[in-house]
């Protein structure tokens, strides 16, 4: 199996920047669950790897925004 390195830096998503913190936390929770499903579907049902990559990229953007907000306090 070959894995591609995630592209860096992660592009800022305006919707993430404009969302309030509770919304981001809920979105991150849903994305984590979606990543698990996408990863399983990629492994066992031939889902395109781009679906997994999309979840990872969004998760990275969400985490970056949340961690930036927490360090600003």
Average pLDDT over residues 21-44: 97
Say what the pLDDT of residue 13 is. Answer: 84
In sequence order, the 6+-apart residues with CB closer than 8 A to the CB of 56 are 6, 35
Query: Does 61 map to a domain?
Result: yes
Query: Does 39 map to a domain?
Result: yes
Query: Does 40 map to a domain?
Result: yes
Cα–Cα dist 62/69, whole Å: 11
Q: What percent of the chain has pLDDT over 70?
A: 84
Query: Does 3 map to a domain?
Result: no
Query: Does 44 map to a domain?
Result: yes
Average pLDDT over residues 16-43: 96
Query: Does 62 map to a domain?
Result: yes
Range of the domain at 48: 14-72
* Domain total of the chain: 1
**pTM of the shown model:** 0.79
Residues 7-29 have pLDDT tens digits of 555 567 889 999 999 999 999 99
Query: Does 42 map to a domain?
Result: yes
Q: For residue 68, what is the enclosing H or E element? A: helix 49-72
């Amino acid at each position: 199996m070959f894995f591609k390195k995630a592209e860096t830096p992660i592009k800022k998503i305006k919707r993430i920047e404009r969302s309030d913190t509770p919304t981001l936390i809920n979105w991150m929770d849903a994305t984590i669950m979606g990543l698990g499903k996408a990863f399983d579907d990629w492994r066992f049902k031939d889902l395109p790897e781009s679906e997994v990559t999309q979840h990872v990229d969004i998760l990275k953007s969400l985490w970056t925004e949340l961690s930036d907000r927490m360090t600003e306090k």
